[in-house]
Structure 1
Amino acid sequence: MDFLLSGVAACGACLFTNPLEVVKTRMQLQGELQARGSYVRHYRNVFHAFYTIGRVDGLAALQRGLIPALLYQFGMNGIRLGSYGLVESAGYIHTPDGHLSPLRSALAGATAGMLGSIAASPLYMVKTHIQAQSEAEIAVGHQYQHQIFPPGSWLVALSAGMTSSVVVAVAMTPFDVASTRLYNQPVGPQGKGLMYKGLFDCFSQTIRTEGIFGTYKGLGACYFRIGPHTILSLLFWDELR
């Protein structure tokens, strides 16, 4: 029951925060591996991105990818919060004298987050593909014709796990940028392999071409999303329990 309630709570939060996820995805893919100032910035900031997407793609586009996003949140947070709830109920995050152990709690949370992200990784890829799709006028990144559970969807699960385990937006954003780009990466030049070989190669190429600030694209959207999403998820989870 803990797994079910946790998943439902996360889905409730996702209904409110998915538009910020769309904005974040578009901003993180904007100017991918291009030097600053050498490309057209369709999205100047979070608020301009909201306006631009609504004007060009339509207001409904702000909820693009909602179904896979809901399935991802149900799977990922159902496992994450459900697992943590079981560990908490069993008393494993408490010391023998009954006090809460910050270290055990942090380890349990990080482990549960990684397990949830690995299990739901294919849905994150599907969500990213759909959210990146737009009219040619404001297109960024690779515009996939979406397919369910694309090949290789598990290869970047570790990156997603690392992202979910970090709760501070400033620390999380570079991993979030890397996750988005790894999930949405097209085939490289002349069709020879993928654009990125892995997480660290993605960091290296991004910093080399876009500078260190390239790893912080979408920071505003990430910040505005993670706070409300976490609060709403835990609020709904607590009320449902």
Structure 2
Amino acid sequence: MDFLLSGLAACGACVFTNPLEVVKTRMQLQGELQARGSYQRHYRNVFHAFFTIGQVDGLAALQKGLAPALVYQFLMNGIRLGTYGLAEAGGYLLDSNGNHSPGRSAAAGALAGVMGAYIGSPIYMVKTHLQAQSASEIAVGHQYKHQVFPPQSWKLALVSAMVSSLAVVFTMTPFDVVSTRLYNQPTDARGKGLMYRGLPDAVMQTIRTEGIWGMYKGMGASYFRLGPHTILSLFFWDQLRFLYQKHNQ
């Protein structure tokens, strides 16, 4: 669970910070191996870079490389934080007296970081290539012509659904938990619930007894259900609409 929660948390943050990563990549490649003042500066500062990229490449360009960035964040942070969490849970960070050992913590953190970075490095390279892609008038660095998914690919739709599902699941899981418990509670002879008096009572009892994270039980399962469910619903809707239109021609 540590791996999953760590990876999902990093992906959620990545959706909002990826535009800054695009800007950072472009500014770092600008003037590569060229003396200061001998090249055209397309991006004068962070704010000018945001404006220039949005104006020339379009606002969507500020999210270039998002798909590999999400995979990278999930792998790197999931492995890094998850591995460290396992080491902590296993008692490997304690010395022979049972006290917390700073040295062991540093070693475990370094090892977990190396593992995450090593496994995620190939994805990071693809992300960098995609984020550097731009129109010729503001291009910096070498321009790779990678394309993760064709524009009409079902894979693109699936990735988009999985990304958007992060926000949906985070917002809806507490309500889903409460509705599940209300539906599943035992009832008396008149059908009245024996555990909860209603939605507010279910929320308060859950938080009071299980803590705020009790409202997010099953979030991982909800996330991995919602993305495929969304794309499959759209796929079947599109196919049924096509068959209906073909039948009526």
TM-score by length of 1: 0.59
Q: Which residue of 2 aligns with 1:74?
A: 74
Quote the Cα distance in structure 2 between the aligned partners of 1:77 and 1:112. 9
Q: Offset at 1:147?
A: 6.2
- 1:10-49 superposed matches below 5 A: 10-49=10-49
Change (3 A) 1:147 1:59: closer
| Counterpart Cα distance in 1 of 2:68 and 2:139 | 21
Distance in 1 (alpha carbons) for counterparts of 2:111 and 2:3: 15
Say which one has the larger Rg. 2
Verify: 1:113 aligned to 2:110, yes or no.
no
Instruction: Kindly indicate whether residue 131 of structure 2 is the aligned counterpart of residue 142 of structure 1.
Output: no
Q: Deviations over 1:5-45 (max 9, x none)?
A: 21111101111111111011101110100011100111111
Taking the aligned partners of 1:55 and 1:35, their CA distance within structure 2 comes to 27
Give how far 1:120 is off: 1.3
What residue number does 2:93 align with?
Answer: 93
Alignment of 1:202-217 (within 5 A): none
Check if 1:4 corresponds to 2:4. yes
The answer (yes or no) to whether the contact 1:30–1:41 under 8 Å persists in 2 is: yes
Using the alignment, how far apart are the partners of 2:6 and 2:106 within structure 1?
Answer: 18
Q: Superposition pairs for residues 120-199 of structure 1, below 5 Å?
A: 120-146=120-146
Identity in percent: 74
TM-score, normalized by length of structure 2?
0.57
Return the letter of the residue paired with 2:92: Y
SS in structure 1 of the partner of residue 25 of structure 2: helix
Counterpart residue number, 1:195: none
Q: 1: CA distance between counterparts of 2:53 and 2:147?
A: 23
Distance (whole Å) between structure 2 residues aligned to residue 146 and residue 55 of structure 1: 22
1:59 and 1:80 map into 2 onto residues whose CA distance is 32
Label 1:48 to 1:98 Cα distance change in 2 as closer, same or farther (>3 A).
farther
Match of 1:174 in 2: none
Q: How many angstroms apart in 2 are the aligned matches of 1:145 and 1:66?
A: 16
Distance apart, 1:103 and its partner CA: 2.1
Alignment partners' CA distance in 2, 1:33 and 1:131: 19
State the alpha-carbon separation in 1 of the partners of residues 147 and 117 from structure 2.
20
Q: Which has the higher contact order (CA 8 A, sep 6+)?
A: 1
How far apart, CA to CA, are the structure 2 residues paired with 1:103 and 1:51?
A: 46
Letter in 2 for 1:71: V
Cα distance in 2 for partners of 1:13, 1:110 equals 22
| 4+ aligned runs moved over 6 Å, structure 1 | none
Contact 1:31 1:41 in 2 (8 A): yes
> What is the root-mean-square deviation of aligned Cα atoms in Å?
2.0
Q: Which runs of 5+ in 1 are unaligned?
A: 149-235
Q: C-alpha deviations, 1:154-190, integer Å up to 9, x for none?
A: xxxxxxxxxxxxxxxxxxxxxxxxxxxxxxxxxxxxx
Structure 2 counterpart of 1:124, which letter? Y
Q: Which residue of 1 aligns with 2:184?
A: none
CA displacement at 1:106 relative to structure 2 = 1.7
Cα deviation, residue 129, structure 1: 0.5
